[in-house]
Structure formats: structure tokens, C-alpha cells
Amino acid sequence: MKKYRVVIIDDEQIIVEGLRKVVKWADFNCEVAGTANNARTGTALIREIEPDILITDICMPGQDGLTMLAGLRSEFPDLQVTVLTGYRDFAYAQEAIRLGVTRFLLKPSRMAEINEALTAMTAKLGNKEPAHEDQNTGSFICNQAVAYIEEHYAEKLTLQDVADRCYVSQWHLSKLLNKYTGQSFLDTLNRTRIEAAKELLRDPKLKVGDIGLMVGYADTAHFSRIFKKLTGVSANEYRNRL
């Protein structure tokens, strides 16, 4: 019988080692396939080994735990997740549950709680049909991606940059953007930049070429082509109409 593979992510190594050594994994037909101490390496590990179960903290320094959780649940809808955290915020717990976690346990957790979570997760793995993509997680990640683009459009931004921020693969983020916005990554980025440029064109002191640079286009000719494609007029014509 195939054993369920488990990944543990926690920035406290003592928690990781404690879970690895103390839990009687064989009793639940499980084995620890890998561990990580932060969301980035944990996400990479999950893509590499595609585990069945994830036990993770979602309040690690410098990490967006809810986005990590949503990204993983969206990309791997069959993944069963238990959150183990010291973050005692009810709204945060509600959001985690909405994004599809099986159990939300507060540290320090009793062994009975961890055992019950494993029982629940393995039962789901054993009894259900393959899951379809969850709309909550997909829309959450899409909104996070668009918000990041709107905040960083003036930078040299790539699909990989945004996918890394959202803890999903480039392919999966492209799929989500097309599904929930009807646009590709480049379409979304260009439209965001051009909307910002239109606002800047209201200032007659700014040169058109400088505005292109300000919204993220290193090449003025490229900026001009995109502007006309999306608005139907050149940047200068747009300014004159104002």
C-alpha cells in the first residue's frame, strides 16, 4: 500500500524535528518526505516531490503565509493541509480555512490534536475523487498577483517575479490570470502601465519619453506602440485631447 508523503514547513527547527521524531507516522500510513524552514524552499520542495500532506506554519518572518497557502492549494488541489501556528487571530484562521486547510492548530498543540488532524487528512485522501481547482484559492492568488503588478509596474517585472511572489509556477499563474481576468500577464502589465501613463500625461511639464520610462518601458518606441495599441491614439494625441 502506497504511503502518504508528508512535508513539514516551519521556521522553528525544533518544531520540525519534534514532529518528525515524535509523531508515529507509520500508524497513519505516512512518511516524512521532506522538511523546510521557510515558504520559498518549502514551495520548491512541494513542487519537487508533490506530497499528499503538508503541515506548515503560515506566520514565518518575511513570508506571506496566506498567499503561500492559497498558491499551494490552487496549484495542488489534492494536497491536504494542516496549519500549525502561534498566530492567534480569528480572522486569519477563518481565511486559512476558507482557502481549504483541513485543520488550524495553535501552538503548542497537543499530540491528540495532531493525530486527529492526520486521521482527518488521510481519510480525505483515501475517500475522495481527485479535487478540482478551488475557486477561493484561484481568485485569491489572481487578486494578489494583480495587486503586486499594480504596485510594481514601474519596475522590470517578469511573470516569474510575480509567480514567485504568489508561490505558484509561471504556468499556473498564467492560467489563473487568463481564467479570472481574461488577460495574459503581459496584457495585465501593459494595461496597468498605460493607465498610469495616461494620468502622468496630464502634467504638461513631463516629456512623453520620460513618462514611458517612469511607467516601466526602457524603450520609448515600444512605449509609443503599446500606448497607441491600447488607446487608439498616440501619447501626444492623447495629451492634446486633454
Q: What CATH number is given to the structural domain containing 119?
A: 3.40.50.2300
Domain finish residue from 96, 127, 158: 127
Please tell me the predicted confidence (pLDDT) of residue 133: 63
Rounded CA gap, 149 and 143, in Å?
Answer: 10
Please tell me the predicted confidence (pLDDT) of residue 94: 79
Same domain flag for 141 and 113: no
Same domain flag for 59 and 122: yes
| SS3 track for the chain | CCCEEEEEECCCHHHHHHHHHHCCHHHHCEEEEEEECCHHHHHHHHHHHCCCEEEECCCCCCCCHHHHHHHHHHHCCCCEEEEEECCCCHHHHHHHHHCCCCEEEECCCCHHHHHHHHHHHHHHHHHCCCCCCCHHHHHHHHHHHHHHHHHHCCCCCCHHHHHHHHCCCHHHHHHHHHHHHCCCHHHHHHHHHHHHHHHHCCCCCCCHHHHHHHCCCCCHHHHHHHHHHHHCCCHHHHHHHC
Confidence band, pLDDT 50/70/90 cuts, at residue 68: confident
Model confidence at 145: pLDDT above 80: yes
pLDDT top residue among 43 and 89: 43
* Alpha carbons within 13 A on the beta-carbon side of 100: 27
Same domain flag for 141 and 51: no
Please tell me the predicted confidence (pLDDT) of residue 61: 72
Q: How many structural domains comprise the chain? A: 2
Q: What CATH number is given to the structural domain containing 221?
A: 1.10.10.60
Domain finish residue from 127, 149, 171: 127
Same domain flag for 30 and 114: yes
pLDDT top residue among 183 and 91: 183
Handedness of CA 109, 11, 174, 226 (dihedral sign): positive
What's the whole-number average pLDDT of the chain?
90
Q: What is the pTM of this model?
A: 0.79
Same domain flag for 72 and 21: yes
Model confidence at 50: pLDDT above 90: yes
Please tell me the predicted confidence (pLDDT) of residue 128: 67
Please tell me the predicted confidence (pLDDT) of residue 224: 93
Domain containing 103 equals: 4-127
Please tell me the predicted confidence (pLDDT) of residue 129: 58
Q: What is the pLDDT of residues 9-41, one digit of tens each?
A: 998 899 999 999 999 999 999 999 999 998 889
Give the CA distances from residue 4 to residues 30, 39, 99, in Å, rounded to whole numbers and listed in that order. Answer: 5, 21, 22
Domain finish residue from 127, 150, 170: 127
Residue 183 grid cell: 488577460
Please tell me the predicted confidence (pLDDT) of residue 100: 85
